[in-house]
Amino acid sequence: MARKEPKPYKPGVLITGQRAIFVIVALIGVLAHGALGVWAWDKPIADVPAIESAPARPIAVKRAPLDEYVVTPPTIDPSTLGPTAEELTRQLLESEPPQLVSEPLELDVELRPLEELNDAAAGALEIELPAFELDNEVLSQLDTRPPAELSFGEGDGNPGEGDGPGTGSRDLAGNALGTIGAAPNRTAGPTTMLIERPTLDGPSAVTDIPPDLAPTLDTPPIDFTDLALGGTTKIDVPDNLDNDFAYRVIRYDPKDWRGRTIDPKEEPGYFRVDITAQRSLRKLKTMPKDVIFIIDTSSSISQKWVQQITKGVSESLVTFNEGDRFNVVLFNEKVSLLSDTGPIDANKDNAKAASDFLSNAQSVGFTDVNAALRGLLIRDIDPKRVYELVLISDGQSTRGVVNTRDLINLITRDNDLVASIYCVGVGAKQNRELLNFLAYRNKGYSVYADEIKDASVTIQDLMSRLRFPIIKDVRLDVVGIDSEAVFPADLPNIHQGETISVYGRYTKPDAFTMQLAGRSAGKEVEFTFRRDINGAQIGDKTVATQWGFWKLHDLYSLIIREGEKKELLDQVNQLRKKYGLKTLY
């Protein structure tokens, strides 16, 4: 027997009616409230007598949007007010102009022609001026404007006679402002100023002034602001070079073991900023430089290496600029200098003498880096010159101070960041850790020749990069990122066309600002730039490795200053493992 399907449920009449009633009531409520709102839309709030009668002081009224409060302004009696601006103007125009006083001004001064005065100028009006002193620059400005109608000095009243050249100045009305009767760099004593009798239509009593000294309309007025500031110290305002450098930002975000980018909040990202002084920069002149070549000729470097090294140095000397100086030092356990009296001028004759000196270099003996460098470190240099040491060595010290850390600390302490030390690694076995750290601690960097044939070219390339120094004593300020994670801390000198790099880390890829400042030929200069890490070029893992390298050398500096603390040594060990670096500890 077939089973019957149950019928679908249908609501009854009662339930359906309740729903309809509910909908109708809701609709009526909505319409009623809408009508009430339309009716009250433009209705103002009723006047409040208490508010109108309140004293005149600020009243805070809490009101809803679009409400209006109408207050009838108080009635003001025009008679209680003063005259209007139009009435005042009319009264001023209708009034009589003020009468000028026609009575002459009586002065208790006797004015007489100069010709009536005797040699002692008896009876003349004497004005005592206080003693004062002006420098040569100010006096030179005043000497170009001799007065036309005043005489100075203790002579007979004629200009130019007396103790020294008489000078003076006048205000815009031609009135005398003061006198000076002393020679430059000499204190002026009390000076007598003789006033002549003015005439109405005749020439002045003093007429014997040469035409070439008489003031003319073409004579520039004296700038009294410059005179007032003549003895003050001028502020050295840095020259702005923002647009004279090229900037490039490269970022690298760390990857996990799956190759996925790690959020910078979990592990900060890395960035590098390349800063290049453009070839078109002509605002800064090339500073003259003193370059000292310090060449390792110990037996740890073969004679073939020595020959390539001396060749590179000799060929570099011809590229020096006018005003540059140099010296050549050969060292093993002993030190030999081209010039015992210090750097010599970079000219053809001295370059020839240097080539002859280098041709006799022999690979022999032990290495004493400390003895070679310490004798060349100086305390004071001309602020308009650059002092650079170029150490060409394998870094294997076998005499004197041989401990790498002690050697670096001694040299750095004696140098005190006066000289920039650049290192060229040569030889079959190089202690690059020593050379890198020595250069880092002394505002320089290192380059290397991996093969004998590369030694000469490497030296010449370095000297071409150092040819045009324009800024020294470079300082760095950073805003927008962690400045403690930016390296190197001590930047090298800036050279024309050369690129310097700054490394850092970030937790947010936002904009940041960098400012570099230094001195060029004794004058303060600076440049500032703003970049956004979001728009940076994407780099590879070498950006992170380079940051680790500079961070490691900064830790070395802390260890030498503060000692081998456990927390510092732990950081060194972490950097060594994470970035695959060779360390001194």
> What's the confidence (pLDDT) of residue 583?
84
Q: Where are the alpha helices (DSSP H) in 97-150?
A: 136-142
Which one has a higher pLDDT value, 238 or 439?
Answer: 439
CB 543 within 8 A of CB 272: yes
Task: Decide if pLDDT at 420 tops 80.
Answer: yes
Q: Please tell me the predicted confidence (pLDDT) of residue 142.
A: 53
Mean pLDDT on 346-362: 93
Digit-coded pLDDT (tens) for 171-194: 333 444 443 333 334 334 443 344
Q: What is the mean pLDDT of residues 113-117?
A: 51
**Domain(s) of CATH 3.40.50.410: residues in the chain:** 289-467
Instruction: Supply the pLDDT for residue 77.
Output: 62
Among 101-105, 233-237, 340-344, which range has the highest average pLDDT? Answer: 340-344
Quickly state the pLDDT bin for 515 (edges 50, 70, 90): very high
Q: What pLDDT does 404 receive?
A: 64
Of 100-114, 470-484, 499-513, where does mean pLDDT reach its minimum? Answer: 100-114
* Higher-confidence position of 16 and 161: 16
Residue 97's pLDDT band, with cuts at 50, 70 and 90, is low
- Residue 236 has a pLDDT of 54
For residue 362, CA distances in Å to 66, 393, 451, 458 come to: 99, 14, 19, 21
Checking if the pLDDT of 315 tops 70, the result is yes
Q: What amino acid is encoded at 175 in this protein?
A: N
pLDDT at 199: 44
**What are the strands, taking DSSP E only, across 121-227?**
167-170, 176-180
Cis peptide before 488 (omega within 30 of 0): yes
- The pLDDT of residue 111 is 53
Q: Per-residue pLDDT averaged across 208-224, rounded?
A: 47
pTM, to two decimals: 0.58
- Looking at residue 125, its pLDDT comes to 47
Provide the pLDDT for residue 73: 57
Query: What pLDDT, on a 0 to 100 scale, did the predictor assign at position 573?
Result: 94
Give the residue-averaged pLDDT of 322-344: 89
pLDDT tens profile 128-145:
555 555 556 655 555 444
* Burial class of residue 30 (count of CB atoms within 10 Å of its CB; 0-12, 13-18, 19+): exposed
Is the model's pLDDT at 198 over the cut of 50?
Answer: no
Mean of the per-residue pLDDT values of the chain:
74
Distance CA 196, CA 147 (A): 13
Sequence-ordered alpha helix ranges (H) in 178-251: 224-228
pLDDT at position 275 is: 94
Report residue 464's pLDDT band, with 50, 70 and 90 as the boundaries: very high
Specify the pLDDT at position 19. 74
Nearest Cα to Cα of residue 327 among 388, 413, 411: 388
Query: What letter would DSSP give residue 570?
Result: H
> Which among 118, 120, 114, 130 is positioned nearest to 191, based on CA atoms?
130
Confidence of residue 459 (pLDDT cuts 50, 70, 90): very high
| pLDDT value for 403 | 65
Q: Which two tokens stand for residue 377?
A: 């470190």
Q: What superfamily would CATH give domain 289-467?
A: von Willebrand factor, type A domain (3.40.50.410)
d(CA 183, CA 59) in angstroms, rounded, equals 74
Distance (Å, whole) CA 342 – CA 499: 30
